[in-house]
């Protein structure tokens, strides 16, 4: 096996998706503890407010008690090199999450045992399924009362349309929770006084019953045996190919807060989940073991370190090996591009990168040259991994600085945050008014907050009643359509004309009246 192949095989790059409060932060933290990346519990949340990997706008997160940023963390566990990409869970702020999901090879979906499949999980799941990303399910909070496991499998199948195959099965729940039975390794894992108390290999169900009689009540044992036999007979057989195609999800149970079930989950997950695989590009399939270097930018984040006012472009490596000082080219411009100060992110530090491989995420210092979706190639014959999904904004507002003397900082902030993808920015052609577009309302709050915290600019914001944005792909917008009571023409930050409409009816009317104009929900690609 080549050195490159070995490195690719030991990489696992995944994201954790869940509805807020299901336990994403807790599970991440327990995994980092297992990998020795952090030493004490509480560090993940604590670190969110530390300066190394965040910005002042985490204050907003603290105030509202929601997670609004994605972060990347790397650690080693049992020979594997693991990259966890965190995803914001709030429904209003998911654009970033969707893009992050383009950069992973698998996903861990956490469900709260009492709540089952919740709204945000459903949305995120759909993105994963559309891309065929393998999904692993961790049902959390087994130390609390919740839905019956069989009911949850049914819900997963019905609501999400994916088969489930339980790798382990809970013994009781809430106050009667005694642990899990690992169906794959025929092993009981005990849970006592909120902690793992040991494990026991067993021969068969008779054996299982015998051991459980010491710790569990008869009703729990009877229910467990009945369920297990039902699963053996009528459940889905575990099929790794179906898992890899995103058609079946292996299911695990546990209690992240006490770390119960987390090591077992991680071990099975690392064994079953795919390492980086090939990706389609304009030059055909790119294999992670191809010698040439390639990757794409899926996220740009400004002001990660308030004391440096820096901006980082996050690059997911897709092939080859990154080496310090190597030559690379940016596909969009075809020009050579020095990868400046690449960094990798750990739980408590970021460090310069000497070597990185497919699956790894490196942060590049960005003086304003990258755009989300950019492909970086280690060869002059550039190719592209294609555009990342764009989301049409549905909320619009007009903004201006409260204090006209702050105009310079205002323009700088708007430009940087637009490039980062935090918000979409338009200008009216004649009056140069600034119009903001957002996928979710919360993006406005974050924007106002960041403009104040990072650029010292207070804003005056007026919400507009438009709901649709369409880029003009072909044709010229007639003068009389520039500003009507139902539509408004603006330019995006690359000066491409966009028409904002109040509703579908107005959009259809415009299309009927202007048949020579082609509109598009997403911006056309540009090369500048
Ligand atoms: P999130 O990132 O998905 O939003 O969830 P997070 O991990 O922050 O967990 C949300 C709450 O659920 C936290 O409680 C956390 O302690 C709790 N929790 C996580 N896993 C388990 C579990 O296995 N069992 C039980 N019973 N609770 C769990 P909190 O009170 O909101 O915060 P904290 O003060 O405890 O941190």
CA nearest ligand 1 atom 35, residue: 257
Write down the pLDDT at residue 60: 52
> Do 346 and 371 contact (CB within 8 A), yes or no?
no
User: CATH 3.30.70.3280 region(s) of the chain?
Assistant: 395-520
Cβ atoms within 10 Å of 404's Cβ, excluding its own: 8
**173 CB near ligand 1 (under 6 Å):** no
- Interacting residues of 226 by C-beta distance below 8 A, sequence separation 6+: none
Contact 70, 96 (CB under 8 A): yes
pLDDT(315) > 90: yes
Residue 23 beta carbon below 6 angstroms from any ligand 1 atom: yes
- Topology (CATH level 3) of domain 395-520: Alpha-Beta Plaits (3.30.70)
User: If you average pLDDT over residues 92-112, what whole number do you get?
Assistant: 86
* Highest-scoring range by mean pLDDT, 208-212, 303-307, 368-372: 208-212
pLDDT in tens, 225-236: 999 999 999 999
Residue 56 has pLDDT above 70, yes or no: no
Burial of 508 (0-12, 13-18, 19+ CB in 10 A): exposed
Instruction: Determine the longest span between alpha carbons in the chain, in angstroms.
Output: 83
pLDDT at 61 over 80: no
Q: Which atom of ligand 1 is nearest to the CA of 19?
A: 3
pTM tops 0.80: yes
**CB of 121 sitting under 6 A from ligand 1:** no
How close is the Cα of 26 to the center of ligand 1, in Å? 6
Residue nearest to atom 25 of ligand 1 (CA): 141
525 pLDDT more than 80: no
- 180 to 108, 111, 445, 521: CA distances (angstroms): 19, 17, 43, 48
pLDDT greater than 90 at residue 398: yes
Closest C-alpha residue for ligand 1 atom 28:
257
* pLDDT band with cut points at 50, 70 and 90 for residue 309: low
Query: Secondary structure of 62-97 in the HEC alphabet?
Result: HHHCCCCCCCEEEEEECCEEEEEECCCCCCCCCHHH
Which ligand 1 atom is at minimum distance from the Cα of 258? Answer: 23
* R_g over Cα of the chain: 25
**What pLDDT sits at residue 51?**
31
Give me the chain's average pLDDT, please.
87
Helix (H) / strand (E) containing 30: helix 24-34
Annotated binding-site members for GTP? 18-25, 86-90, 140-143
Residue 339, pLDDT score: 86
Q: What is the tens place of the pLDDT at every residue in 11-23?
A: 999 999 988 889 9
> What CATH number labels 279-377?
3.40.50.300
ipTM metric: 0.97
C-beta 255 within 6 A of ligand 1: yes
Pocket test for ligand 1, best of 26, 29, 143 (most atoms within 8 A of CB): 26
The fold of the 3-73+83-174+242-272 domain, in CATH, is Rossmann fold (3.40.50)
How many angstroms does the Cα of residue 24 sit away from the middle of ligand 1? 8
Ligand 1 centroid to Cα of residue 142, in Å, is 12
The protein residue with its alpha carbon nearest to ligand 1, atom 9, reads 23
Q: Locate the ligand 1 atom nearest the alpha carbon of residue 260 and give its number.
A: 23
Assess whether the C-beta atom of 519 lies below 6 angstroms from ligand 1: no
Q: Give the residue with greater pLDDT, 527 vs 477.
A: 477
The arrangement of strands across the sheet holding 135-140 comes to 72-77, 80-85, 11-17, 106-112, 135-140, 248-253, 163-166
What's the CA dihedral at 40, 45, 51, 56 to 10 degrees? -170
Q: In which residue ranges of the chain is CATH 3.40.50.300 found?
A: 3-73+83-174+242-272, 279-377
Ligand 1, atom 16: closest residue by C-alpha: 257
CA of residue 22 to ligand 1 center, whole Å: 7
């Amino acid at each position: 096996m080549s050195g490159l192949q070995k490195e690719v095989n030991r990489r696992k790059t995944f994201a954790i998706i869940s509805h807020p409060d299901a336990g994403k932060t807790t599970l991440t933290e327990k995994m980092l503890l297992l990998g020795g990346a952090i030493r004490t519990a509480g560090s993940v949340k604590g670190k969110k407010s530390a300066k190394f990997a965040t910005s002042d706008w985490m204050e907003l997160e603290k105030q509202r008690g929601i997670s609004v940023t994605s972060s990347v963390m790397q650690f080693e566990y049992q020979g594997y090199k693991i990259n966890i990409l965190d995803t914001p869970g709030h429904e209003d702020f998911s654009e970033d999450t969707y893009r992050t999901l383009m950069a992973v090879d698998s996903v861990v979906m956490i469900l709260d045992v009492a709540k089952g499949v919740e709204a945000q999980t459903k949305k995120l799941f759909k993105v994963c399924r559309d891309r065929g990303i393998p999904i692993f399910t961790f049902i959390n909070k087994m130390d609390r009362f919740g839905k019956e496991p069989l009911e949850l499998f049914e819900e997963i199948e019905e609501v999400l349309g994916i088969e489930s195959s339980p790798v382990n099965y809970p013994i009781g729940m809430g106050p009667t929770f005694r642990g899990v039975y690992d169906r794959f390794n025929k092993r009981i894992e005990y849970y006592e006084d909120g902690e793992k108390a040991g494990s026991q290999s067993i021969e068969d169900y008779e054996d299982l019953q015998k051991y459980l009689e010491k710790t569990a009540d008869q009703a729990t044992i009877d229910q467990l045996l009945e369920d297990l036999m039902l699963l053996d007979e009528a459940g889905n057989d575990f099929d790794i190919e179906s898992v890899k195609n995103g058609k079946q999800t292996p299911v695990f149970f546990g209690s992240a807060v006490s770390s119960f079930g987390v090591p077992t989950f991680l071990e099975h997950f690392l064994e079953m989940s795919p390492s980086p695989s090939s990706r389609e590009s304009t030059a055909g399939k790119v294999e992670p073991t191809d010698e040439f270097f390639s990757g794409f930018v899926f996220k740009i984040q400004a002001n990660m370190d308030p004391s440096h006012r820096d901006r980082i472009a996050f690059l997911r490596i897709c092939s080859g090996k990154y080496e310090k000082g190597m030559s690379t080219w940016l596909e969009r411009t075809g020009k050579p591009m020095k990868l400046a100060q690449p960094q990798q992110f750990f739980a408590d530090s970021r460090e310069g990168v000497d070597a990185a491989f497919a699956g790894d995420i490196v942060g590049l210092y960005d003086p304003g040259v990258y755009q989300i979706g950019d492909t970086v190639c280690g060869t002059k014959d550039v190719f592209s991994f294609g555009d990342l999904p764009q989301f049409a904004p549905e909320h619009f507002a007009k903004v201006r600085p409260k204090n006209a003397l702050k105009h310079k900082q205002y323009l700088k902030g708007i430009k940087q945050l637009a490039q980062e993808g935090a918000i979409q920015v338009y200008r009216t052609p004649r009056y140069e008014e600034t119009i903001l577009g957002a996928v979710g309302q919360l993006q406005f709050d974050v924007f106002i907050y960041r403009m104040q915290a990072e650029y010292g600019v207070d804003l005056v914001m007026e919400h507009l009643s438009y709901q649709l944005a369409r880029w003009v792909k072909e044709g010229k917008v007639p003068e009389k359509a520039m500003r009507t009571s139902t539509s408004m023409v603006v330019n995006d930050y690359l000066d491409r004309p966009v028409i904002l409409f109040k509703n579908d009816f107005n959009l259809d009317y415009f299309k009927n009246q202007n048949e020579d104009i082609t509109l598009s929900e997403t911006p056309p690609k540009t090369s500048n």
